[in-house]
Amino acid sequence: MSDAPLVEQLSDVTLESTPDQKLPTGPVRPPRVLAVANQKGGVGKTTTAINLGTALAAIGERVLIVDLDPQGNASTGLGIDRRNRNCSTYDVLIGEAPLREAVVPTAVPRLHIASSTMDLSGLELELGTTAGRAFRLRDAIAALNHNVSPDADYTYVLIDCPPSLNLLTVNAMAASDAILVPLQCEFFALEGLSQLLQTVEQVRSTLNPNLSIHGIVLTMFDSRNNLSNQVVADVRQFMGSKVYNTMIPRNVRISEAPSYGKPVLVYDLKCVGSDAYLKLATEVIQRERELRTH
């Protein structure tokens, strides 16, 4: 199935919640929901979800990472054993469990994750043409902060998307306030970005009118590499202020950390990679403030 038609197929459904969703009443502060998305693999989505999530938690936010990639790299990178994934994002999206049930704590205070398993790769086929299948995640997140004590609600949800523009990514986009796009500083960086932006536009006009682009983060930047510098110049020219000032450098500590089941901020707080993700978190918060005051 090609990607653009998928959003079109989904656009015939209404923006209403699925009818069997009964939300308890009471004052609820919804979390800010950001999808970390790019249909290219290996560009730094999972690394960004893990480390931005850790940095946000470090500055006091209560963060839930939703692993929406069947590969489960965010779950593994945060040290979640496969045996602790009895309830996963698959169970949530198939409608068999509330999102809270799939949540496990990580070693980082205030950072939790809803893990994924390979089952997720079959979801698209299993859901078939079920009405409202694009809103499974949105509805699950809508119930997340209901009936919880004031200090147990989440202030941020970061969704780690799979490397494709499939139903999982569409669910993420339909559920999000904004998209955060990691872009690797390599020759083909801009290729694919227009397709991603087009999908965001389609989702905005059909499934989620509030969706915006939070920002583009340049990853694996190598200042000694002329090509890296050229890519940065091109992307900044093409996307202007949508590109965060902070760039994530290519840093071996960042790539080592997941094999220890740790975010780089825990593995080596002093390395340039950790420093960059802390700066990115500050910039994300800054943009959030600006969005709120406008």
Q: Which of 31, 33, 38, 45 binds Mg ion (CB under 5 A)?
A: 45
By CB atoms closer than 10 A (0-12, 13-18, 19+), residue 182 is: buried
d(CA 39, CA 194): 11
d(CA 35, CA 176): 6
Q: Which of 35, 43, 103, 175 binds ligand ADP (CB under 6 A)?
A: 43
Q: Which of 44, 70, 72, 215 binds ligand ADP (CB under 6 A)?
A: 44
The letter for the amino acid at 286 is Q
- Residue 73 touching ligand ADP (CB under 6 A): yes
- In the list ligand ADP, Mg ion, none, the entry touching 109 (Cβ below 5 to 8 angstroms by class) is none
Asked if 85 and 117 touch (Cβ cutoff 8 Å), the reply is yes
Binding flags for ligand ADP, 107-146, as an x/- string (CB under 6 A) = ----------------------------------------
- In the list ligand ADP, Mg ion, none, the entry touching 219 (Cβ below 5 to 8 angstroms by class) is ligand ADP
Distances (CA, A) of 209 to 1, 88, 200: 24, 28, 10
Instruction: CB nearer to ligand ADP: give 132 or 258.
Output: 258
Residue 93 host element (H or E) = helix 89-94
- In the list Mg ion, ligand ADP, none, the entry touching 159 (Cβ below 5 to 8 angstroms by class) is none
Instruction: CB nearer to Mg ion: give 73 or 202.
Output: 73
Instruction: CB nearer to ligand ADP: give 53 or 132.
Output: 53
Distances (CA, A) of 94 to 64, 101, 237: 20, 13, 42
- Residue 262 touching Mg ion (CB under 5 A): no
Asked if 189 and 206 touch (Cβ cutoff 8 Å), the reply is no
- Residue 51 touching Mg ion (CB under 5 A): no
By CB atoms closer than 10 A (0-12, 13-18, 19+), residue 128 is: exposed
Among the residue ranges 1-9, 15-23, 37-45, 232-240, the one whose residues contact ligand ADP (CB under 6 A)? 37-45
Residue 180, φ and ψ in degrees, nearest 5: -115, 120
Q: Calculate the CA 191 to chain-centre distance.
A: 21
Minimum CB separation from ligand ADP for residue 76, in Å? 10
Among the residue ranges 11-19, 45-53, 125-133, 281-289, the one whose residues contact ligand ADP (CB under 6 A)? 45-53
Tokens found for residue 49: 């979800």
d(CA 55, CA 223): 24
Asked if 170 and 208 touch (Cβ cutoff 8 Å), the reply is no
Q: Which of 220, 243, 266, 278 binds ligand ADP (CB under 6 A)?
A: 220
- Residue 39 touching ligand ADP (CB under 6 A): no
Minimum CB separation from ligand ADP for residue 145, in Å? 27
Q: Which residue has the tokens 């990472």?
A: 65
Minimum CB separation from Mg ion for residue 230, in Å? 26
Binding flags for ligand ADP, 47-66, as an x/- string (CB under 6 A) = x-------------------
